[in-house]
Amino acid sequence: AAAVTSRGDVTVVCHDLETVEVTWGSGPDHHGANLSLEFRYGTGALQPCPRYFLSGAGVTSGCILPAARAGLLELALRDGGGAMVFKARQRASAWLKPRPPWNVTLLWTPDGDVTVSWPAHSYLGLDYEVQHRESNDDEDAWQTTSGPCCDLTVGGLDPARCYDFRVRASPRAAHYGLEAQPSEWTAVTRLSGAASAASCTASPAPSPALAPPLLPLGCGLAALLTLSLLLAALRLRRVKDALLPCVPDPSGSFPGLFEKHHGNFQAWIADAQATAPPARTEEEDDLIHPKAKRVEPEDGTSLCTVPRPPSFEPRGPGGGAMVSVGGATFMVGDSGYMTL
């Protein structure tokens, strides 16, 4: 018989002699291609896997098939090209992993020992491990007591103290071989003597079940508080001024345009011209600027230009009238609107 084809990434587990689970990784040998599994018991025909499960990449990563307690199970795992990737032939029980013990009972005895008992599995060849430690001890502080089904006694305990207990089933190597593996541990059970029940409950181990409900509530409260603070801050003038952009007020540049004329620029221009200071007289010019001797050019053209009244203002490039007010020149379109 050929040696068992072995791959490091193929794992076979027989769960409680009920199902066989074969899993394989995405090894480099088959480049992520789908692998297919066939099996048979005894000398029957090879059957395809009844139930595959897929990896995140969408390719097969394992198979679950029924377990038989007798007869040889043959497994054949092939790649897409039909090449054998893994092959094995032995009893399914050789890959046994029992279910954890259930309905475990812990009782103090009058001698100060603890009796641990549980119902039997439906098959033989198992030993059981009972571990105990003082509550709140380190994770590695477990002490082990081993024995057959279906009860074990742990001695040397103090009823005044609190203890943690857990149990698991372990296949005997002489029954199933070296590939069989122990079950998972049961959940930890805390035990105290009658006199120390209060001290056990006073400092229970932190329960992970309590954390999830409190976390969303805390996050909600934090979010609500943050929102409240933000709304309060917006009410402050300084914060508002700092956060909101400043919109310029044109009323400062055009006094009376909005207050008096309600934005009517034409009326504002007319009013501005009416209130403009009158032209200076000749005497006023002498007071401000000394009168210069007039010199006429030889070609007869005049060097001075007399400003025309507003009604005779020259037309702008767009056809609108050019209006000068207070030193600023504007063009008023035919529609009456000012353009800069």
Partner 1 sequence: YNFSNCNFTSITKIYCNIIFHDLTGDLKGAKFEQIEDCESKPACLLKIEYYTLNPIPGCPSLPDKTFARRTREALNDHCPGYPETERNDGTQEMAQEVQNICLNQTSQILRLWYSFMQSPE
- Point out which residues bind partner 1 (CB under 8 A): 1-4, 6, 69-72, 87-91, 93-94, 123-125, 172-178
How many residues are present in the chain? 340
Q: 89 or 315, CB closer to partner 1?
A: 89
Q: 174 or 340, CB closer to partner 1?
A: 174
Burial of residue 154 (CB within 10 Å: 0-12, 13-18, 19+) is buried
Q: 90 or 264, CB closer to partner 1?
A: 90
CB of 152 to partner 1, least distance (A): 20
Measured between alpha carbons, how far is 284 from 83 in angstroms, rounded to an integer? 116
Q: 51 or 172, CB closer to partner 1?
A: 172
CB of 137 to partner 1, least distance (A): 35
Place of tokens 């996050």: 219
Q: 16 or 313, CB closer to partner 1?
A: 16
Residue 30 has which token pair? 């088959």
* Neighbour tally for 165: CB within 10 Å: 20
CB of 218 to partner 1, least distance (A): 54
Q: 89 or 240, CB closer to partner 1?
A: 89
Alpha-carbon separation of residue 205 from 135, 137, 196, 208 (angstroms): 8, 11, 16, 9
**Which of helix, strand or coil describes residue 117?**
strand
Closest to 163 in 3D by CA, of 185, 128, 131, 186: 131
Backbone Cα Rg of the chain: 49
Q: 177 or 182, CB closer to partner 1?
A: 177
**Which of helix, strand or coil describes residue 45?**
coil
Which residues have CB under 8 Å from 324's CB, separation 6+? Answer: 313, 330
Residue 149 has which token pair? 């089904």
Measured between alpha carbons, how far is 332 from 340 in angstroms, rounded to an integer? 9
Closest to 244 in 3D by CA, of 258, 233, 255, 257: 233
For residues 201-223, one letter each, b for 16 or more C-beta atoms within 10 angstroms of the residue's C-beta and e for the rest, the string is eeeeeeeeeeeeeeeeeeeeeee
CB of 153 to partner 1, least distance (A): 23
Q: What angle do CA 157, 158, 159 make, to 5 degrees?
A: 115
CB of 175 to partner 1, least distance (A): 5
Q: 91 or 166, CB closer to partner 1?
A: 91
CB of 4 to partner 1, least distance (A): 4
CB of 70 to partner 1, least distance (A): 6
Q: 175 or 190, CB closer to partner 1?
A: 175
CB of 122 to partner 1, least distance (A): 13
**Which of helix, strand or coil describes residue 69?**
coil
CB of 5 to partner 1, least distance (A): 9
